[in-house]
Chain A
Amino acid sequence: MIIMGPVEWLFDFWQFLEFYSDSVINATVRHLTLSFGAILAGIFVAVPLGILIANRAKLARVFLSITSIVQTIPTLAFLALVLPLLGVGVLPALVVLFLYSLLPILRNTYTGIRNIDAAYLEAGLGMGMNSRQLLFMVKLPLALPVIIAGIRLSTVYIISWATLSALIGAGGLGDLILTGIQTYDLNFILAGTIPTAVLALLAGSLINRLELSLTPRGLRTQG
């Protein structure tokens, strides 16, 4: 690699980005699709599952252990494991990311509901709510901040882990990083890394705002 001063280097990187803008944009779009696809699927599975296991202690232990174990499998190994089953491409990457997204959302939904002060549940039941009404009028609104915190955690992780899905041909910003590694080109590595970091930060703060606007005033004051 040629040694340059920072100004020249920035200029050089800028020219690089202009030249490769299409690839960077395509990779970013693919990256977002992969991440949010996985997260959305994660939410649709983990939130109802969390609600379901919240009052079933045994089931809760089973599902929480399974998702924790999934979490401990190194991403690289996991990708290699699904290869023979699902082949290469977008689908196996989505599946792996989806499985990774489950634990924080499931755990937070579960604890969010479990930690609701029993007085609220007793008041709700005592006034004649059925279990559905109790869920939608009391449990979910009270657990919502915790559930969203789980979703935020998952999202930030998944956006960064999605770079690895390039290894099994699913594309995304990881592709640029891989190219950079193979060709010893720092520009490629940075063109993959910087957007990933920015995406993760943006998504995190976006969800923070969403959480704030979804949290009723009466709950916000509690900090």
Chain B
Amino acid sequence: MTTHSDEHHIISYRKLTGIWLILLVLTALTVAITRIDLGGFKVAGALTIACIKAGLVIAFFMHMKYENRLLQILLFVAVVTLAIFIGFTFFDVLYR
């Protein structure tokens, strides 16, 4: 799975195109769910889709899936920190 960072992992066109298509589908889905009334889950839905998309971009287009463990952990720490910060603002937004 993980290769050394100095080696260059090449992702096939087929795979890249596949991911691109998934991203397009997810974008369509983002638009689609605005047509349904989800109430309080609207934000949750939109954020979930956005997270999946960002995850795909980071993992494949930005090669994070093929980087070494340390780099992955560091990115993870940053993302979790951000998630906590955003999460805590919901103590306000959700109960206002």
Q: Do A and B come from one complex?
A: no
Chain B contact residues, CB within 8 Å of chain A: none
Chain A contact residues, CB within 8 Å of chain B: none
